Structure 1
Amino acid sequence: MLLKKIEIFKYRLPLKNPLHLGDYKLERREGALIALQTEDGFCGWGEAAPLPGFPGWSPNFLNHNIQKLIGGLTNMPLEKLRLSLESRKDFSPAIFFALHSAVLSLASRTAGVSPHQLLSPVAPSSLSLCALIDGSPEARIRGVAKAASQGYKTIKLKVGRDDLKTDIETIEHVLDKLSPLMKIRLDANQAWSLEETLQFCNAIPTEQIEFLEEPTWDSYQLPMIQEKTGIPCAVDETLQQLSHCLYKDESEGADPQIIKLRAMAEETKVWVWKPSLCYPPHLLGMKGSNPIVLSSAYESGVGTAAILYYAAAFSESRFAAGIDTYSRLAEDVLTDMLPIIDSPTISLRSIDSLRGSVKMNSLKPYPLCVT
């Protein structure tokens, strides 16, 4: 089966509340959808939506990949394209994710199975989801109580945005009220020093902490933090940095910085993979069987559905999928929103029929022209 047509569309979706990312204030989520069509008329959708301020983003990120999209992919057999994506890093992570998920969608349609089953025949058909709680200390406490009442078993809390004493008191309050069966993920977004991280970890009960994500700006300290505190550390921004280095790398991965960064990341206990911002761990050259936790970055329903399929295949039922950023969108490119908002679990069958139902009137065609 040959790939006969590639179309690209841009979208702009309003957010329920402004999103602050470093120096950027976003009131809309902008990205692109890539539609791949075969000679038999099957169509697969993928989403490319890097975030402003993150490695690899630029206002013209599509232009940097457009020549390769047009010149190298049309009239290529679908299976050849699928196999080639398992090793190529000449596309940016966002474009790679769009192509990989679109090809996966096409291949699953022709095979008559759901995408997660094509990735892993033993993948579960339903997933647990993680609630994302942010805001003021009071808002986080209320948010945790609401999530617990809705049946969530895993909650992710942002820390590092208040003073250390306030964060410690907030987490202590949350853990004191929480069922012992629930797990907490803590994400400091590299806000703390080593001393602050150790002080925080030594001050809170740790039994229900599933992992601590990127607490310090110096990620090389993470293995030591794990050893001193007993709390598993997760890498997220570090994997994004490694992806960016590999995308720009001409040394075939032999650059000393890449080798050192990869070796450190392999020592952490959990790998958080955001497909819009990062290559999959195997493309990063990561070795080991560390748990992979799938996480979203404010994608539309097209990208979020793909992340859920990846979560079923790569996280299985061990870790809840972190796709709650989807709930921050006021609208979607799909005709119906995915049934995951305020829901602690999701049946993947419930999104199979929605992932290709794109509202074409919400998209703007992107001109495909070779210059």
Structure 2
Amino acid sequence: MELELSLYRYAIPFTEPITVKQQRLVMRDGLVLALTSATEAVTAFGEIAPLFGLHSETLEQAEAQLVTLFATPHTTLARIMEAQFYPSVRTGLEMAIHNFTAARSGALPRFGTTPHNAEQVPVNALLFGASNEVVERAERLFTAGYRTFKLKVNAANSANAIASIQALHSRFGNAIALRLDANQSFTLNDAIAFGKALPDGSIAYIEEPLQNAERIGDFYAATAIPAALDETLWQNPALLDIIPTKALAALVLKPNRLGGITVAEKFARYAAERGLLAVVSSAFESGISLGFYAWLAASCNAEPAACGLDTSRYLAFDVLTTPFPTNTPLLDAAQCYRNSLQVNLATLKPCAMPQSFRILMEN
């Protein structure tokens, strides 16, 4: 079967500036790859969206890599997928292929080994601000149905973070699960001091607490607070064999930074086999990816962990005909996936391509 490839670009303002690795961002830019079979009247999409400050590749580099690969004469999709890609590019390609197969068959994709998919996926909500603002926001979200929250912390704001955590624990107790994300900001000694200042049982885990992740076992031994791995999974995945499993509570899976859907599935299986949470998360992507990730989370675990898919609220609009839901503590995974297949092309700008690209896909 012959497929035509098209490439589009989007530029979506953030509803307020966000900071990623000390980089202040006001716009989310990305690419959308379309695979079209004229004979079967099927079009499927995949998103390629490296985030400045998180990814090593730029959007321009991702686009150039795609154009170079597709320009190979008489190539096949299977041969293309054997090449080395930037993580965001492989994610978009795999997503488009899964979506194309699903659109042709009318069946939802299958991931993982869970015999029954979850119908709903819980979402964790992000908290920020001074301690009084954190509690006020948590109260609003709790009333809306959220039960899992995430608070960014670092060595520079540890006093404010401790005050916020104490206030949240006093207000909600065990009625919520509070996750912290330190983005590898603490030294071991500072992390231990921070952990010991927290009320017992006040947090579910702290994501990437240390500048040197190899010492997470030491942090756990001193505080009894488990960690979650995010950046370590792509920076140094071999540390999974070094960090004691008992010192971990979760793996945070960002497919477009890990290197694709297949890699994310592998880590999800690793987590399930060891009793760890697999927290599927986005990097401020559009509803194309968010709907796909919701179904991925539902497919990999019959009782999925609260996922980091609450990011669409920070984008001024979505590229889907039916936008990905915001302010929703429980996602209808199948419906989110189906909606992610319907892209509003009016929100996209076609990329100027040097030629028309066609490839062969095995039936």
Please indicate the TM-score interval, normalised by the length of the shorter structure.
0.7 to 0.9
- In the TM superposition, residue 89 of structure 1 has moved relative to its aligned partner by 6.8
Amino acid at match of 1:343: T
Specify the code of the residue in structure 2 equivalent to 1:113.
A
Q: Residue 206 of structure 2 is aligned with which of 184, 208, 212? A: 212
Tell me if 1:367 matches 2:361: no
Aligned residue number for residue 294 of structure 2: 308
Aligned mates of 1:346, 1:106 — CA distance in 2: 23
Question: What fraction of aligned residue pairs are identical, expressed as a percent?
Answer: 25
In the aligned structure 1, how far is the partner of 2:317 from the partner of 2:308? 19
Q: How far did 1:284 drift?
A: 7.6
Q: Which residue of 2 aligns with 1:327?
A: 313
Per the alignment, do residues 142 and 73 of structure 1 end up closer, same or farther by CA in structure 2, a change over 3 Å counting? farther
Contact 2:179 2:207 in 1 (8 A): yes
- For the structure 1 residues 68 and 166, does the alpha-carbon distance in structure 2 shift closer, same or farther, using more than 3 Å as the test? same
Q: Deviations over 1:242-271 (max 9, x none)?
A: 4xxxxxxxxxxxxxxx64x45346844421
Q: Does 1:345 align with 2:346?
A: no
The aligned counterpart of 2:5 is: 6
Q: What is the CA deviation profile of residues 321-346 of structure 1, one whole-angstrom value per residue up to 9, with x for unaligned ones?
A: 1111111001111123212x111101
Give the letter for the 1:9 counterpart.
Y
Spell out the pairing of 1:154-303 with structure 2 (5 A cutoff).
154-160=148-154, 162-242=156-236, 259=238, 261-264=239-242, 267=245, 268-279=248-259, 280-281=263-264, 289=273, 290-303=276-289
Q: 1:273 to 1:140 in 2, by over 3 A?
A: same
Change (3 A) 1:177 1:317: same
In structure 2, how many angstroms separate the alpha carbons of the residues matched to 1:111 and 1:266?
43
Question: Residue 301 and residue 281 in structure 1: after superposition, are their counterparts in 2 closer, same or farther (change >3 A)?
Answer: closer
For residue 102 of structure 1, report the CA deviation from its aligned partner.
1.3
Deviation at 1:364, TM superposition (A): 1.6
**Alignment partner, residue 67 of structure 1:** 68
1:99 paired residue number? 93
Q: Does 1:134 align with 2:128?
A: yes
Are the structure 2 counterparts of residues 307 and 182 from structure 1 closer, same or farther at C-alpha, using a change threshold of 3 Å? same
Could you say if the C-alpha distance between residues 110 and 310 of structure 1 is closer, same or farther in structure 2, counting changes exceeding 3 Å? same
| Partner-residue secondary structure (3-state), 1:51 | coil
1:316 shift after superposition: 3.7
Separation in 2 of the partners of 1:118 and 1:110?
21
Counterpart CA distance in 1 for 2:137 and 2:73 is 48
In structure 1, distance between residues paired with 2:199 and 2:142:
19
Aligned length: 346
Residues in 1 aligned to 2:134 and 2:217: alpha-carbon distance in whole angstroms: 28
**Shift, 1:65, TM fit:** 3.7
Q: Is the 8 A contact 2:165 2:202 kept in 1?
A: no
Deviations 1:299-353 (A, max 9, x none): 01111111111111224424111111111001111123212x1111011233244
Compute the displacement of 1:196 (Å).
1.6
1:165 alignment partner AA: A
How big is the alpha-carbon RMSD for the aligned residues of Structure 1 and Structure 2? 2.8
Gaps of 5+ in 1: 243-257
Aligned residue runs from structure 1 range 79-94, under 5 A? 90-94=84-88
* Residue 52 (1) aligns with residue 52 (2): yes
Deviation at 1:10, TM superposition (A): 0.8
Per-residue deviation, 1:52: 0.5
Corresponding residue of 1:31 = 30
Shift in alpha-carbon separation, 1:315–1:188, aligned structure 2, 3 A = farther
Which stretch shifts more, 111-120 or 227-236?
Answer: 111-120
Question: What amino acid does structure 1 have at the position aligned with 2:300?
Answer: F
Kept after mapping to 2: 8 A contact 1:35/1:44: yes
> Displacement of 1:286 after TM fit?
9.1
What whole-Å deviation, never above 9, does each CA across 1:190-249 have from its counterpart, x for those lacking one?
A: 22221121112112134252221011211111122223322221111112324xxxxxxx
Residues 206 and 72 of structure 1: is their aligned pair in 2 closer, same or farther, counting only changes over 3 Å?
Answer: farther
Counterparts in 2 of 1:314 and 1:266: CA distance versus 1, 3 Å: farther
Deviations 1:258-297 (A, max 9, x none): 64x4534684442111112112246689956243210111
**In the alignment, which residue of structure 2 is the partner of 1:358?**
343
Structure 2 letter corresponding to 1:273? L
Q: Is the 8 A contact 2:13 2:26 kept in 1?
A: yes
Relative to the length of structure 1, the TM-score reads 0.84
Query: TM-score, with normalisation over the residues of structure 2?
Result: 0.85
Cα separation, 2, equivalents of 1:285 and 1:264: 18
